[in-house]
Amino acid sequence: MEKNYHMTPGQFREEGKKLIDWIADYYEQVENYPVLSTVQPGDIRKQLPPQAPEKGEPFDAMMSDVNKLIMPGITHWQSPNFFAYFQSNTSGPSILGELLSAGLGVQGMLWATSPACTELESQVMDWLVDMMGLPAHFKTTASGGGVIQDTASNAALAALLAARERKTNFSSNLTGESSRLVAYVSTQTHSSVEKGIKVMGIGTNRLRKIEVDEHFAMRPEALENQLKKDMKNGFIPFFVCGTVGTTSSNAVDPLREIGEICKKYDVWFHVDAAMSGTAAVCPEFRSHFDGLQLADSYAFNPHKWMFTNFDCDCFYVADKAILIKTLSILPEYLKNEATEKGAVIDYRDWHVQLGRRFRALKLWFVIRHYGAEGLRYHIGEHIRLARELASWIKTSADFELLNEPPFNLVCFRHKASDEFNKKLMDRLNKSGRIYLTHTVLNGTFWLRMSIGQTQTKQEHVARAWELIREMAKQ
Amino acid sequence: MEKNYHMTPGQFREEGKKLIDWIADYYEQVENYPVLSTVQPGDIRKQLPPQAPEKGEPFDAMMSDVNKLIMPGITHWQSPNFFAYFQSNTSGPSILGELLSAGLGVQGMLWATSPACTELESQVMDWLVDMMGLPAHFKTTASGGGVIQDTASNAALAALLAARERKTNFSSNLTGESSRLVAYVSTQTHSSVEKGIKVMGIGTNRLRKIEVDEHFAMRPEALENQLKKDMKNGFIPFFVCGTVGTTSSNAVDPLREIGEICKKYDVWFHVDAAMSGTAAVCPEFRSHFDGLQLADSYAFNPHKWMFTNFDCDCFYVADKAILIKTLSILPEYLKNEATEKGAVIDYRDWHVQLGRRFRALKLWFVIRHYGAEGLRYHIGEHIRLARELASWIKTSADFELLNEPPFNLVCFRHKASDEFNKKLMDRLNKSGRIYLTHTVLNGTFWLRMSIGQTQTKQEHVARAWELIREMAKQ
């Protein structure tokens, strides 16, 4: 006899609507949870059964366990009091876009496996070029093109790989030129580039960490000196990463000067603006991106600050042919008419993964829901709040500010010892009322407050500052 | 004046519930859509506005465009008449798990950034070890451990990287031993390993494609001969990939014999069972996995056949310390107490990406909804249907069967020319009534029917076979 263990559409309607309400309730109450989870290692696991159930269970049982077992182990990234790391935002239209993508369940590895998945992605990526004042040659309709990668880590890896192939004329292997390749970052560049260097088989002793200036931005003259020195020693420079908004302190590397050096020495120039890239929706912050025209590749993450669920990294290249040549492999079972005619984009050839889901939906929903106007407003507000916080810190007797925040990250410290600041951070985080993280710059411990959570408003920043001063006094 | 462009919880409730109904409606009607999209290249894009909207739009406008512009460009992977490639399944509990994950919007890069995200993943991965009869040392509570990767491509890459590090004693760079590394696959291994070899900087001329037997399974003696020959020539074998259920024909490599060769020559043994791995929920199919005990790493994709939304690849290693040592990088801004004490798993060190979403939720929901019993039933049914289709093909005068399907992939062809079979496939796919793909084996064109879509039942397979015979006659 035929059995059916699947959830029926009727059950899906019922449970789905309850879950929609659950999520709406969550956002209405998220401020009441301690931001940083207070559980100890193993607390969650020990409450879970040691074996998978033999018999199916009703959906209510799962949701009851979500409430009882999972929620205490959640650090609330969607709390307006989350100021840690860089944000990883959601928004209503984005969650619904993710839901629709999950419901349709299509694979976008090839154009043919769902043309809309590819074409909407190309269109939305091109929209962003205009909306954010990015170089026009990044458009898919020009020489370049954009693709949604999962993370800035994989975007950096794709850039590294394409850079190597270009430099070695697509003959990369472990002998010959490849063994003399050298890459350049600053001491402040995100660790994902170092990880990428390891992954691609270039020893990390071939990664040069260029020194930075007093604003933690790469020194172009130091870069050029190192390039010359390496070439003199028989090395082959192939990749430079510049950053708009470093993770530690939001420093902005001088893209134009770095880009000109890259052109001069024929080196791939990648620009990482994972967090701060979203600021380019506001014309008044685009001066920080001056020189991006010289970049071979560029990445920023709507899943950080553009109210779009993880994962959604926008990765652009100036010359898509190089990227595709780097990453394409076409086995027989993936051959199809549209691909063979060359009339389409097959995004499988733009990243390491083969499979890919319909991620453009959520980004499309977000852009249409907010409009360029709404995005400008909320991003501008976050930056305004960061500057306001910076101004409070500057007038405080006990605290010092690292620098004027170019975007939405405020680095500051109590004038007491590093040990004091560490303890202050731990106490603040353990209070559950806010969550912030730290960095070390020039050997000194600094508190970091990133003001970029979707729902963070003036009142949250003001209360956080009040709490920080209060706890520092205790 | 403070403005607010965000979707309110009230709007989210309303639009979310409408979208839940839309998805339920979709699953009730999915059979009425042509399976393979019939649009031409550019058809979707040209209907989309050239610029992002300046003003925000109501959610209804987006959903109206989804219906009008997007749906014609969808290839319906969730149709029970989808027999192409390998499936990429969804199910009710999985879609809801994905929705909950999007709603919570947490990052699981570190244990501390949401302990439940890490601990539930470890627990569910360990559940699967017992539920599927996998080697007990794959458990996180033993020497090994499991992690959810996005795809089998990245699982293979992680395995390759760990294999290289182990073989070069964690001193991998472009000189010395690394320049003599050689990897081994069969002629039938998935192209992702070749892509991984390129990514990691080992020229594809260092990838040996070992010949296969009459069942398209790797010949162990040919592997051993090649290993000996390479070592004699000064190469260093570091990686062998065996497959349970190849993409072309579902061939099963002899894991035990390959594994013993790998032990003998101290080579990393990775087993890829991306599609067919799910069959191990049924004890009667576990003989195909004999020898998996000898594997250093193993991957299978619940996002293919276990009713779990993409992306969800289960990746296991026998020795987690090697994988972690291979992929860990700890910058200052990610340091935290739990990590420093070493009491927790930080899954960031188990893959290339830093960020990761809460993917264990959907897998947990699926396992609990179906129970082991429900999963066994539906997987067993798909395999039974594949065998039934195979029996019909065998008794047909006009068609021939490639081989007895070990799992759920049926390869067959009309006894006429390759050209005839190609035309037959194109006509079947253009009819919109079913979607199937092809492969080429020993120079001959074969049709592939993968019977593994969540909702595929006897009636769909029977109607597909009827349609195939009918169209072949025309």
- Higher-scoring residue by pLDDT: A465, A175: A465
Contact state of A369 with B62 under an 8 Å Cβ cutoff: yes
Residue to mutate among A2, A3, A7, with most B CBs inside 10 A, is A7
In the prediction, which pLDDT does A181 show?
Answer: 93
Residue pair A314/A129 in contact (Cβ under 8 Å)? The answer is: no
In the prediction, which pLDDT does B173 show?
Answer: 57
Contact state of B77 with A116 under an 8 Å Cβ cutoff: no
Mean pLDDT of B72-81: 98
Contact state of B41 with A111 under an 8 Å Cβ cutoff: yes
pLDDT single digits (tens) A227-256: 999 999 999 999 999 999 999 999 999 999
Residue to mutate among A1, A3, A5, with most B CBs inside 10 A, is A5
Contact state of B343 with A41 under an 8 Å Cβ cutoff: yes
B175 pLDDT more than 70: no
Laid out side by side, the sheet with B437-441 consists of B399-401, B409-414, B444-450, B437-441
Mean pLDDT of B95-107: 98
Q: Which fold has domain A9-32+37-74?
A: dopa decarboxylase, N-terminal domain (1.20.1340)
Contact state of B106 with A61 under an 8 Å Cβ cutoff: no
Q: What is the DSSP string of B279-308?
A: GGGSGGGGGGGTTGGG-SEEEE-HHHHSS-
Contact state of A103 with B26 under an 8 Å Cβ cutoff: yes
Residue pair A271/A241 in contact (Cβ under 8 Å)? The answer is: yes
Residue to mutate among A19, A43, A60, A75, with most B CBs inside 10 A, is A75
CA geometry: angle at B329 spanning B328 and B335, to 5°?
110
Contact state of A179 with B181 under an 8 Å Cβ cutoff: no
Query: In whole angstroms, how far apart are CA B265 and each of B128, B221, B228, B236?
Result: 30, 14, 9, 10
Residue to mutate among B38, B128, B193, B198, with most A CBs inside 10 A, is B198
Contact state of A44 with B74 under an 8 Å Cβ cutoff: no
Mean pLDDT of B67-91: 97
Q: If you measure CA to CA, which chain A residue comes closest to B45?
A: A119
In the prediction, which pLDDT does B176 show?
Answer: 64
Mean pLDDT of A143-162: 97
Residue type, A379: I
| Overall size of chain B counted in residues | 474
pLDDT single digits (tens) B200-235: 988 888 999 999 999 999 999 999 999 999 999 999
What is the least distance, in Å, from the CA of A134 to any CA of chain B? Answer: 14
Q: Determine what percent of chain B is predicted with pLDDT higher than 90.
A: 92
Mean pLDDT of B451-467: 98
DSSP state of A340: H
Mean pLDDT of chain A: 95
In the prediction, which pLDDT does A416 show?
Answer: 96
**Distance of alpha carbon A85 from alpha carbon A87, whole angstroms:** 6
In the prediction, which pLDDT does B332 show?
Answer: 77
**Distance of alpha carbon A328 from alpha carbon A338, whole angstroms:** 15
Select from 3.30.1330.40, 3.40.640.10, 3.30.70.20, 3.10.20.600 the CATH code of B107-358. Answer: 3.40.640.10
CATH architecture of A97-365: 3-Layer(aba) Sandwich (3.40)
- Chain A residues with CB-CB distance to B238 below 8 A: none
In the prediction, which pLDDT does A331 show?
Answer: 77
**A77 close to B (CB below 8 A):** yes
Query: In whole angstroms, how far apart are CA A6 and each of A16, A259, B95, B368, B377?
Result: 15, 56, 12, 12, 11
pLDDT single digits (tens) B364-401: 999 999 999 999 999 999 999 999 999 999 999 999 99
**B422 close to A (CB below 8 A):** no
A179, A247, A371: residue with CB nearest B174: A179
Query: In whole angstroms, how far apart are CA B32 and each of B138, B143, B382?
Result: 43, 50, 22
A5 pLDDT more than 90: yes
Residue pair A249/A402 in contact (Cβ under 8 Å)? The answer is: yes
* CATH number 3.40.50.720 is the correct assignment for the domain at A372-473: no
A175 pLDDT more than 70: no
**Distance of alpha carbon B255 from alpha carbon B290, whole angstroms:** 6
**Distance of alpha carbon A423 from alpha carbon A54, whole angstroms:** 48
Q: If you measure CA to CA, which chain A residue comes closest to B181?
A: A174
**Distance of alpha carbon A437 from alpha carbon A409, whole angstroms:** 11
**A391 close to B (CB below 8 A):** no
**Distance of alpha carbon B196 from alpha carbon A62, whole angstroms:** 38
Q: What is the ipTM of this complex?
A: 0.97
Q: What are the boundaries of each domain within chain A?
A: 9-32+37-74, 97-365, 372-473
- Chain A residues with CB-CB distance to B326 below 8 A: 198
Residue pair A438/A445 in contact (Cβ under 8 Å)? The answer is: yes
Contact state of A98 with B99 under an 8 Å Cβ cutoff: yes
Give the side-chain half-sphere CA count within 13 A for A59.
23
B24, B55, B128: residue with CB nearest A371: B55
pLDDT single digits (tens) B109-157: 999 999 999 999 999 999 999 999 999 999 999 999 999 999 999 999 9
**A39 close to B (CB below 8 A):** yes
